Structure 1
Amino acid sequence: MEELRNEYPRPQFMRKEWKNLNGKWDFRFGHENWQEIIVPFVFQSRLSGIGSNRMCDRVTYRKTCRLSEEWKGKEILLHFGAVDYECKVFVNGRYQGKHEGGNVGFSMNITEALTWEGEEIVAEVFDPCKDETIPRGKQYWLQEPDSIWYTRTTGIWQTVWMEPVNSDRIQCLKYTPDIDNGTVRIDYSHTGNKSDCTLELDISMDEEEVARVSVSHPEMAGNITVDVFHNQIFRTSTHHGGWCWSPDNPKLFKVKAVLWRGKETADEVESYFGMRKIHTDQGMVYLNNRPFYQKLILDQGYWKDSLMTARCDEDFKKDILLAKEMGFNGCRKHQKTEDPRFLYWADRLGYIVWEEIGACVQFSDEAVRRTIDEWMEVVERDYNHPCIVTWVPLNESWGVPFISVDRRQQEFSQTLYHLLKSFDSTRLVVGNDGWEMTETDLCAIHNYDHGEKNDEKAHAKFRESLSCREELLYTYTAGRKIFVDGWKDRGQPVLLTEFGGISFAEQDDKAWGYTCIRDGAELEKEYERILDAICASDSIAGFCYTQLADVEQETNGLLTCDRVPKIRTEIIRKINDRVNKKRIRI
């Protein structure tokens, strides 16, 4: 068990030396007796070694480790991949700081607290089980999971690790591609002395050097623009071995960044980026200036024995490959900000990602602050991943239940949209996925009204509701308007971003779904019927089917919770391949 999740946790910014702290830790509920837990699996999961679903707001972790003597003289950084929800950290009894938010991680410099004789790390976690104003996503605030709500995640759920660094080091590399000009803007920051430092960047593709850039006496923060296409237009074309990133051509540029202090290496980092552009025009989404029909799968990112933490790195890769086998070109990661290792594999394998954070349930001043704070951390961490093409700050009016009439909640929706666009102009933003939208780049609609398998009247109504733009935008779904009063259709692409949810689970009385069928043959027929309705529409610019895999009682997956296909993947691919729209009528 000590070897679980031992892959490098930050693939976008890699250093050679590091120490994995996953494995056995001491753990206790509240002030109870200590017991053993396996990190990074939460106590609610079987792989943690505890597997308890008890309601407990406060837990504590403790671990003792020894550091290499070779690390002496360096600064030691302690990293937590993600801890849900609030975490205070102590090293050898000395308080090091705290972090609020369970979606992404945090780091701290613990050098001054070290003894070099054996270091004790303590993490005190506060995760209020019933607080509906924290970004909790699918984590249920009641004890037992039910319908679309799942078991809670409390505490450490991503890798904990350390690394030694020099006082002079690279802090940030941020890539903004521009395929129209064949350039990438690289923003950087470092802690070195300007007068004695040089920043060197080696950029390569397929082991061949593309560019080498050296910045002498760099400011503490700055940027450079690098021509990576060398003004050769053909390199934007996948038909000629192009260098633009896409699901069919996931080309990545490797970056080796070295910070020199005089003639000595102060820091060395390996990184990468992709040249990718996403925009909309005339009711269509364009990827790298070409019409791109998105065939997405809703992915909750849960595993049976480990909940929100993948059991191993291979699990991320397997999910992506299975989805691609079924003819999907991406996913909407639903109500979860996924581990960077998943995003790395999506970059490597060519897989579009729509990214979210877990939503609050209720609206309040604290909910607003918490949501904004976490979104800023998410964008900072994940900006460089070419796989991410869309941010989804709100879903189905969760956390803004009265957005249709409450101007303050509408302002919050607008704020999230403009805030994300101001930090990242390279991606699309969906204002409120599902319905009751304000500002948005895409009109994202949810519709589960496809009817049971023998309900011909419901079938006909569902098909009609998708038939044209007017029906899509002016048919109420779940009793909600598509746009809030005061906002209207501006010709944005229309996508059906939740539908289906067909449940098939043998001999399971607790199984839940939007509609239910009995076997694989019926699943194939129902999937085909629903996709045919989408194919017949002349106004849908992409779709996202619910869902990739079963999660607890929600048995809507095309795969079981163990990732076994319920029907052959080539059957789903054949149906998906029929939907290949190039032109959309607006």
Structure 2
Amino acid sequence: MLFPQQNDRRNRLDLSGLWEFQLDPDEVGETEGWFAGLAAPRTIAVPASWNEQFEDTRDYMGVTWYLQQLYVPSSWQGDRIHLRVGSANYAAKVWVNGRHVGSHEGGHLPFTLDVTDAVQWQGENTIAIQIENKLMSTRVPAGSMSGDKPTGFMNNYPDTTFDFFPYGGLHRAVYLYSVPQTHITDVTVTTTVDNPTAAAPTGTVQVAVVASAGYSGLGELVIQDGEQAQTVALHFTDGSATAT
């Protein structure tokens, strides 16, 4: 997954800072529509774990809600708008302006959602992220389970004995960014050294590029080494191109 960079084709808003926050131990927030506004919010810093910011959240494991309001620049109209969450431990659901735009499980990797169709250009936008960090045998860290337990798991779920503390929250920055309708979504570089023991070894560099929306057409790959640069033509078919 590519990290969003600010340049002449892509714009980026860093949503780090203060968000609204609320615990949801009874798991009523989704039914009551907290994605449109929290019932009793407090202010929390993002990125950070909720366990380290309030006394009553130190040992909390369960459902929580984060909410942020912002304006999206009108100059972004016509582009695709993506929301990138660097880390939401452990499982997350995301709403934009009351519309569910996606979910993700796994707190150790980032995820990106295309939120273009949910963005409104007049007035503020509301981003709501529901996060829960319950211990389960299929998660990291794995805790003991109530009822039937897999062999080898502890018997005191979900108290205190597990591999490491299951911090919950938005642990990395959240970004809103724009990309052109046709854009690069992924790049993979593979290198091979043919004769590593030679005085002047040679090798091969293969670059695979993935473009959005099944793009077919031409592109350019610029390889730069110091002051030297080489341009290689890319021929995209159904969104993929490879150069060696």
Q: Distance in 2 between matches of 1:185 and 1:15?
A: 26
Higher normalized helix content (fraction of residues) = 1
Q: Distance in 1 between matches of 2:215 and 2:166?
A: 48
Residue matched to 2:206: 185
Letter in 2 for 1:183: T
Determine which structure has greater relative contact order: mean sequence separation of CA pairs < 8 Å that are 6+ residues apart, divided by chain length.
Answer: 2
SS of 1:95's partner is: strand
TM superposition shift of 1:214: 1.4
Count of residues in Structure 1 that have an aligned counterpart in Structure 2: 207
Query: Would you say 1:208 and 2:199 are equivalent positions?
Result: no
Q: Distance in 1 between matches of 2:166 and 2:236?
A: 49
Structure 1 residues 361-399: Cα deviation after superposition (integer angstroms, max 9, x where no partner) = xxxxxxxxxxxxxxxxxxxxxxxxxxxxxxxxxxxxxxx
Structure 1 residues 323-350: Cα deviation after superposition (integer angstroms, max 9, x where no partner) = xxxxxxxxxxxxxxxxxxxxxxxxxxxx
Letter in 1 for 2:137: E
Residue matched to 1:35: 42
TM superposition shift of 1:136: 1.9
Query: Would you say 1:102 and 2:107 are equivalent positions?
Result: yes
Letter in 1 for 2:67: R
Q: 1:151/1:191 Cα in 2 relative to 1: closer, same or farther (>3 Å)? A: closer
Residue matched to 1:119: 125
Greater Rg by CA: 1
- Pick the aligned partner of 1:57 from 41, 45, 62: 62
Is the 1:198–1:218 contact (alpha carbons within 8 Å) kept by the matching residues of 2?
no
Q: Distance in 2 between matches of 1:175 and 1:164?
A: 24
Residue matched to 1:413: none
Letter in 1 for 2:220: E
Computed over aligned residues only, the root mean square deviation of the Cα atoms, in angstroms, reads: 2.6
TM superposition shift of 1:218: 4.5
Q: Distance in 2 between matches of 1:143 and 1:53?
A: 13
Task: Report the TM-score when normalising by structure 2.
Answer: 0.75
SS of 1:44's partner is: helix
- Pick the aligned partner of 1:163 from 177, 188, 198: 177
Q: 1:203/1:40 Cα in 2 relative to 1: closer, same or farther (>3 Å)? A: same
Q: Distance in 2 between matches of 1:224 and 1:68?
A: 36
Is the 1:199–1:218 contact (alpha carbons within 8 Å) kept by the matching residues of 2?
no
Residue matched to 1:131: 136
Q: 1:23/1:132 Cα in 2 relative to 1: closer, same or farther (>3 Å)? A: same
Q: Distance in 2 between matches of 1:192 and 1:109?
A: 13
TM superposition shift of 1:187: 1.0
Task: Report the TM-score when normalising by structure 1.
Answer: 0.33
Letter in 2 for 1:198: L
- Pick the aligned partner of 1:82 from 67, 76, 87: 87
Residue matched to 1:222: 241
Structure 1 residues 78-124: Cα deviation after superposition (integer angstroms, max 9, x where no partner) = 11111111111110001111111111011111111111221100011
Q: Distance in 2 between matches of 1:80 and 1:72?
A: 22
Q: Distance in 1 between matches of 2:166 and 2:133?
A: 10
- Pick the aligned partner of 1:93 from 92, 98, 114: 98
- Segments of structure 1 that go 5 or more residues without pairing to the other structure are 1-8, 226-586
Residue matched to 1:492: none
SS of 2:51's partner is: coil
Higher normalized strand content (fraction of residues) = 2
Identity %: 23
Q: Distance in 1 between matches of 2:19 and 2:115?
A: 19
- Segments of structure 2 that go 5 or more residues without pairing to the other structure are 30-38, 144-155, 195-201
Structure 1 residues 226-258: Cα deviation after superposition (integer angstroms, max 9, x where no partner) = xxxxxxxxxxxxxxxxxxxxxxxxxxxxxxxxx
